[in-house]
Amino acid sequence: MAVALILVLVVLGSILFHILSPWWWTPIASNWGYIDDTLIITFWITGAVFSAVILFMAYCVFRFRHKEGAKAAYQPESKRLEWWLTVVTAVGVAAMLAPGLYVWSQFVTVPDEATEVEVVGQQWQWNFRLPGEDGKLGKSHNRLVTFENPLGIDPEDPAGQDDIVIEAADLHLPIDKPVKMLLRSIDVLHDFYVPEFRAKMDMVPGMVTYFWFTPTRTGTFEVLCAELCGTGHSYMRGMVAVETEEDYLAWLEGQSTFADLSAPQKLGAAEEAGP
């Protein structure tokens, strides 16, 4: 009786903790409310299964408790029970997967009007690249990464000369404008994660991963690395500032292009060559 009561209290305590828990999601600041909806559906399904299993265990402990002279019935297999468990489990798994697959399809289907922004992760800082006046990013490659060219931008590609380079500084984005985040790592695994945007993705060396979102609330939001990337992992943080169109354009005017950053290097090389 005591064990059965404890199991019932475990179920009730779990439900109350979920409802009254102070550790809840941060306020959302993008279009990905679907992520929260999917998590809530998953919570309901797994919570219902958890409660049913624990309450069934409590019933069995109480109903089939030891009694003098009682004998246990041995039933090694039951095809009917196995079929029921298989069907119910399959329906439950499908119910959890279906919303996630639907949201994932939207997560990677980028609108045509989205602006591309490149995020480059390295131990232990965030670098960013935005398109310049031509509206497109130039080519880049990890083999081109140097101290003078930390993002590995191809200097031979004319489209990359006007790219805006932001090294170890805050990223600014305009509100209500869709953005395609191109994610690249130049050393180890990283994961670009902004909790308020409900958007995250692994950054794999040698690959370019991506997702898109639309900022819906102005403010400053912290960027975290959600993949253990070395001893400085906990210090790999940054900021994303979502601003009005006017404030964003004013900030953009004060940023340096790839051509600006490489100009001193070119000038130095010309002086060394001499007349």
pLDDT digits (tens, 9 = 90+) for 199-216: 889 999 888 999 999 999
Domain check: are 14 and 55 in the same one?
A: yes
Same domain, 90 and 157: no
- Shared domain for 94 and 188, answered yes or no, is no
Q: Is 113 exposed, middle or buried (0-12, 13-18, 19+ CB in 10 A)?
A: exposed
Q: What is the pLDDT of residue 99?
A: 84
Is there a single domain that holds both residue 59 and residue 153? no
Are residues 122 and 185 located together in one domain of the fold?
yes
Q: How far apart are CA 99 and CA 94, in angstroms?
A: 9
Residue 153's SS3 state is strand
69 part of a folded domain: no
Q: What is the pTM for the complete model shown?
A: 0.77
Asked if residue 91 belongs to a domain, the reply is: yes
Domain range holding 36? Answer: 2-64+76-107
pLDDT in the model for residue 174: 94
Sequence-distant (6+) residues with CB within 8 A of 41 are: 95, 96, 99
Of the pLDDT bands very low, low, confident and very high (cuts 50, 70, 90), residue 265 is: low
Do 123 and 94 share a structural domain? no
Q: How far apart are CA 109 and CA 131, in angstroms?
A: 20
Q: Which of 85, 107, 129 is the last residue of a domain?
A: 107
Count helices and strands in the chain by DSSP H and E runs: 5, 10
Same domain membership, residue 152 and residue 50? no
Domain assignment of residue 234, yes or no: yes
Indicate whether 143 and 247 sit together in one domain.
yes
In a domain, 15, yes or no: yes
User: What type of residue is 211?
Assistant: F
Q: Is residue 71 part of a domain?
A: no
Q: Is residue 70 part of a domain?
A: no
Question: What does the pLDDT look like over 134-152, one tens digit per residue?
Answer: 888 888 887 888 888 888 8
Which tokens go with 133? 């006046």
241 neighbors 177 (Cβ within 8 angstroms): no
Say if residue 9 is in the same domain as residue 28.
yes
Please state, in angstroms and as integers, the Cα–Cα distance from residue 147 to each residue in 152, 153, 257, following that order.
10, 12, 16
Are residue 90 and residue 219 in the same domain, yes or no? no
143 and 121 both lie in a single domain: yes
Higher pLDDT residue, 140 or 72?
140
d(C-alpha 11, C-alpha 111), whole Å: 44
**pLDDT in the model for residue 273:** 47
Residue 179, domain CATH: 2.60.40.420
Instruction: Write the CA distances from 59 to 51, 55, 80, 173, integer angstroms.
Output: 12, 6, 21, 56
Number of domains composing the chain: 2
Per-residue pLDDT for 15 more than 50?
A: yes
Mean of pLDDT values over 234-241: 92
The verdict on 153 and 97 lying in the same domain is: no
